[in-house]
């Protein structure tokens, strides 16, 4: 026999996203989802001047394309 206890569970969800480059708000679509955008999350490792430091950022589609245009070697 199983006896269940009701519990309340608090979940964190993304409410808003802003492009770190231009500051534009990335709006949710009509279904409540964020459109495709670029998200980076990096924890720097050994032999780095930023050892142990964590950085994350989001870019809208336009800023991502602009970043790619500045590459000396094109992205694949």
- Per-residue pLDDT of 13-27, as tens digits, reads 888 999 999 999 999
Residue 8 has pLDDT above 80, yes or no: yes
Token output for 51: 């050892």
The share of the chain scoring above pLDDT 90, in percent, equals 61
pLDDT of residue 1: 62
Cα 28 from Cα 16, distance rounded (Å) = 8
Other Cβ atoms within 10 Å of 58 Cβ, number: 19
Residue 2 has pLDDT above 70, yes or no: no
φ and ψ of 25, to 5 deg: -75, 130
The residue that leads in pLDDT, 2 or 34, is 34
pLDDT of residue 64: 96
């Amino acid at each position: 026999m199983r006896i269940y206890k009701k519990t309340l569970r608090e979940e964190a969800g993304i409410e808003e996203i802003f492009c770190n480059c231009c500051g534009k708000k990335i709006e949710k679509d009509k279904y409540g989802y964020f459109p495709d955008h670029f998200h980076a999350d990096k924890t720097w490792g050994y032999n780095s001047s930023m050892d142990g430091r964590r950085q994350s950022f989001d870019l809208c589609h336009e800023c991502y394309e602009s970043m790619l245009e500045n590459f000396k070697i094109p992205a694949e």
